[in-house]
Amino acid sequence: MLRIESIHKDYPRGRSVVRALHPTSMTASKGELIAIVGPSGSGKSTLLSMIGGMLSPTSGRIVFEGKSLYEISVTQRSRLRNDQIGFLFQSFNLVPYLTAVENVQLPMTFYGSDRVSQRNEARRLLEEFGLAGRLDHKPTELSAGQQQRVALARTLAIRPNLILADEPTGNLDPESRDMVIRTLHDLCDEGRTTILVTHDETVSASAHRVLRIREGHTSAASPNRSCGAA
């Protein structure tokens, strides 16, 4: 479902350029959970941004569900993200002035118009994540673990086929971390693909495959165990 064909990324710096990511190729199939590990500044976020259609590679191609991501318009890419790609962030990135339920509803409002069913869906998801009593809380009124659960609900609101998570457990206590990882595994079992950046050995150990990056160089993804064997 995802094919990365020898992409690399150069950032301009002054007159010269910095190569944030050296040519990289890989594929991800349906239901796979791939961990990307590497020290900070090694190009993990850069790779994730390109896969998410938010950063065009200096060269190479990314084909997602049969579409070459950077050969379609910006609007089409936005629409594609809203339809198929979910994001999780280290700092959760909840919109601070919206309540939990509004945050979950948010991505559904971009192109949809049935506000009542959007709201009901957002409620249902939050209840599923055990936040029934926190629907109208603002992010600042929630603990880190609760915030990431709201963010998970927001990601699932659009029913994504691909989930891109940048150190989603980096700010969480072990209990919340385990819950997030368990959820991601459940989603893979439903046939969704997850690409997960992490520092945490216990997290990467549970992935189906691990891709290592060091100073922009990726080393071939090493299989941990086969898909669905968790």
Partner 1 sequence: MPKEQTCGIWKALGTCWNEPGTGSRILDTKSVLTRLVMVSRTIEMVLGEGVPMSFHSLVWKEMRRRPVHSLTALLIVALGVSALVAVESVITSSEQNVASQMQQLGANILILPEGVTLQDYHAADAHGKSLPEEYVTRIMLAQLVGVEELAPKLSVPVEVGGASTMLTGILPRTEFYKKSAWQSVDLLTADLGESAVGRKHEGCGGRSCQIATADKTDIGSYATTRIVHELDMNAALIGADLAKSQHIKQGQTIQILGARLKVAGVLPATGTSDDGRVLAHLHRVQELADTGPIVNVIEVMGCCEEAAGGLVGELDELLPDARVVTIAHIVQTQVTVNRLMNQLSYVIFGILMLIGGASIASVMFANVAERKRELGTLMALGATPSMVSRLILMKASAVGLIGGICGMGLGLAAAFAIGPQLLGVATSVSLNAVIIGMIAALTVALVASYPPARKAAHLDPCLCFQDA
Ligand X SMILES: Nc1ncnc2c1ncn2[C@@H]1O[C@H](COP(=O)(O)OP(=O)(O)O)[C@@H](O)[C@H]1O
Residues at the interface with partner 1 (CB under 8 A):
45-46, 48-49, 52, 54-55, 74-75, 78-79, 81-83, 87, 89-91, 93, 95-99, 102, 105-107, 109-111, 115-116, 118-119, 136, 154, 158, 166
What is the H or E stretch that residue 87 is in? strand 85-88
Cα gap 94→193, rounded to integer Å: 23
Q: Which helix (H) or strand (E) holds 121?
A: helix 115-128
Q: Does 24 bind ligand X (CB under 6 A)?
A: no
Tell me the chain's radius of gyration from C-alpha atoms: 18
CA atoms of 194 and 172, how far apart (whole Å): 19
Say if residues 209 and 35 touch (Cβ distance below 8 Å). Answer: yes
Tell me the Ramachandran region of residue 114: left when phi exceeds 0, alpha when psi lies from -120 to 50, beta otherwise.
beta
In the shown chain, the binding pattern of residues 12 to 51 toward Mg ion, with x for contact by CB under 5 A and - for none, equals: ---------------------------------x------
Q: Is 16 in the site for ligand X (CB under 6 A)?
A: no
| Residue 52 found at the interface with ligand X (CB under 6 A) | no
| 209 lies in the site for ligand X, by CB under 6 A | no
Q: How far is the CB of 5 from ligand X (least distance, A)?
A: 19
- Binding residues (CB under 6 A) for ligand X: these are 11, 18, 20, 38, 40-46
